[in-house]
């Protein structure tokens, strides 16, 4: 079993974003069922955000309500919370004032039902030195027992090399999927391996693309954030080219007797066994218990199958960037 911050977690985790941050969130009852299913299926590394939804209904609000009903589940999960966005500007703000505001709000929102095991800024703030922010968090929040540790999110390799000089980095959250293999080539995975830092791999099913549910552009839900934020890979002119990868993955999944999502999720896991790679824990999101159960299934991918997928990826280049231009990446 992999470990994060000295605590064992399941090989596959659980992303909470979709339970609160979408045009039409699922009911609280449905969200609770999905969260309960995650624990039952061993998906115990949970990843949420202060800004995943509105202040009155974000990951922390939902978690507090869930743990009020199921207090026995608090010790079963390792919780990573993303914060640090300035409420006025909606930009990452690692100033001492906003760092305290964000952490205080996150801790208070959970009402003592669960300690935050890891806290991370959604992106690096280039305006504030890492030692200033990390020094404050270490002294005022980690040493006082308010939170467990510090993680990084959406950072480049240079930031990891710099961060480890100032703090113990518990984990690095990064996008990794068959559509997004950047961290395997840009030094991020190598840096994590060098320091023994696990990677929390978000969007392992390519924001839903690798489930195989979307065969054509018009299959995308019209209230999807992918459309409202105009994600490049989901633009009409790019969609039909990108779906070609999905078709190839579906073929392998069919031969293997698993779903495309299961193949995609477990492919990210299987990368961990390659030389020079860190532990990788994919955190697929899901809004129903049935989908959580599907995503949480452990599938062994053979070396021959990994080689077959390597060959597909060598010949395929995704069309469009990971994020719209308004989002910072590789900070």
Question: Over 90: is that where the pLDDT of 72 sits?
Answer: yes
Average pLDDT estimate for 9-13 = 97
| Distance, CA of 206 to CA of 124 (rounded, Å) | 23
pLDDT digit string (tens) for 88-97? Answer: 888 899 999 9
Q: Find tokens 């305006």 and name the residue.
A: 127
| Distance, CA of 78 to CA of 283 (rounded, Å) | 12
Question: Over 90: is that where the pLDDT of 194 sits?
Answer: yes
pLDDT digit string (tens) for 97-136? Answer: 999 999 999 999 999 999 999 999 999 999 999 999 999 9
Question: Over 70: is that where the pLDDT of 224 sits?
Answer: no
With beta carbons less than 8 A apart as the criterion, state whether 318 and 244 touch.
no
With beta carbons less than 8 A apart as the criterion, state whether 70 and 76 touch.
no
Which domains, ranges and CATH numbers included, belong to the chain? 3-208+264-299 (3.20.20.100)
Mean pLDDT of the chain, nearest integer: 92
| Distance, CA of 150 to CA of 137 (rounded, Å) | 8
Give pLDDT, residue 235: 84
Average pLDDT estimate for 17-24 = 90
The secondary structure element, H or E, covering residue 282 is strand 280-282
pTM of the model: 0.94
pLDDT range class, residue 223, cuts 50, 70, 90: low
pLDDT digit string (tens) for 281-314? Answer: 999 999 999 999 999 999 999 999 999 999 999 9
22 or 35, higher pLDDT:
35
Can you point out the beta strands (E) in 66-185? 78-83, 118-121, 150-153, 169-175
- 70 a catalytic residue: no
Question: Over 70: is that where the pLDDT of 52 sits?
Answer: yes
Give pLDDT, residue 323: 72
Give pLDDT, residue 326: 67
> How many other C-beta atoms lie within 10 A of the C-beta of residue 202?
23
pLDDT digit string (tens) for 137-189? Answer: 999 999 999 999 999 999 999 999 999 999 999 999 999 999 999 999 999 99
Average pLDDT estimate for 71-84 = 97
pLDDT digit string (tens) for 239-285? Answer: 888 888 889 999 999 999 999 999 999 999 999 999 999 999 999 99
CB burial readout 1-31, b (16+ within 10 A) else e? ebebbebebbbbbbbbbbbbbbeebbebeeb
pLDDT range class, residue 212, cuts 50, 70, 90: confident
With beta carbons less than 8 A apart as the criterion, state whether 4 and 118 touch.
yes
Average pLDDT estimate for 60-66 = 98
> How many other C-beta atoms lie within 10 A of the C-beta of residue 146?
16
Give pLDDT, residue 96: 96
């Amino acid at each position: 079993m992999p470990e994060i911050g000295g605590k064992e977690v399941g090989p596959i985790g659980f992303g909470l974003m979709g339970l609160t941050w979408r045009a039409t969130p699922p009911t609280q009852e449905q969200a609770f069922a999905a969260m309960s299913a995650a624990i039952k299926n061993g998906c115990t590394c949970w990843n949420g955000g202060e800004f995943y939804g509105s202040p009155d209904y974000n990951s922390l609000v939902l978690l507090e309500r869930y743990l009020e009903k199921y207090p026995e589940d608090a010790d079963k999960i390792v919780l990573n919370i993303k914060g640090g966005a300035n409420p006025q500007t909606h930009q990452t703000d690692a100033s001492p004032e906003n760092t305290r505001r964000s952490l205080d709000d996150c801790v208070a929102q959970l009402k003592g039902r669960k300690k935050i095991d890891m806290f991370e800024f959604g992106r690096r703030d280039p305006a504030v030195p890492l030692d200033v922010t990390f020094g404050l968090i270490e002294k005022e929040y980690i040493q006082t027992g308010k939170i467990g540790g510090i993680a990084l999110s959406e950072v480049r390799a240079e930031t990891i090399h710099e961060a480890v000089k100032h703090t113990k980095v518990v984990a690095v959250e990064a996008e990794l999927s068959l559509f997004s293999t950047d961290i395997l080539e840009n030094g991020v995975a190598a840096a994590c391996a060098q320091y023994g830092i696990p990677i929390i791999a978000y969007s392992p099913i390519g924001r839903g693309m690798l489930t195989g549910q979307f065969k054509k552009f018009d299959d995308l839900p019209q209230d999807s954030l992918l459309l409202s934020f105009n994600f490049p890979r989901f633009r009409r002119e790019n969609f039909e080219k990108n779906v070609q990868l999905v078709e190839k993955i579906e073929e392998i999944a069919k031969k293997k007797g698993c779903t495309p999502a299961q193949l995609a999720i477990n492919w990210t896991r299987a990368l961990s066994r390659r030389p020079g790679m860190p532990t990788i824990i994919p955190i697929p999101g899901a809004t129903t218990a049935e989908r959580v159960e599907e995503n949480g299934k452990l599938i062994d991918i053979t070396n021959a199958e990994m080689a077959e997928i390597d060959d597909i990826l060598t010949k395929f280049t995704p069309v469009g960037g990971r994020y719209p231009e308004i989002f910072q990446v590789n900070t």
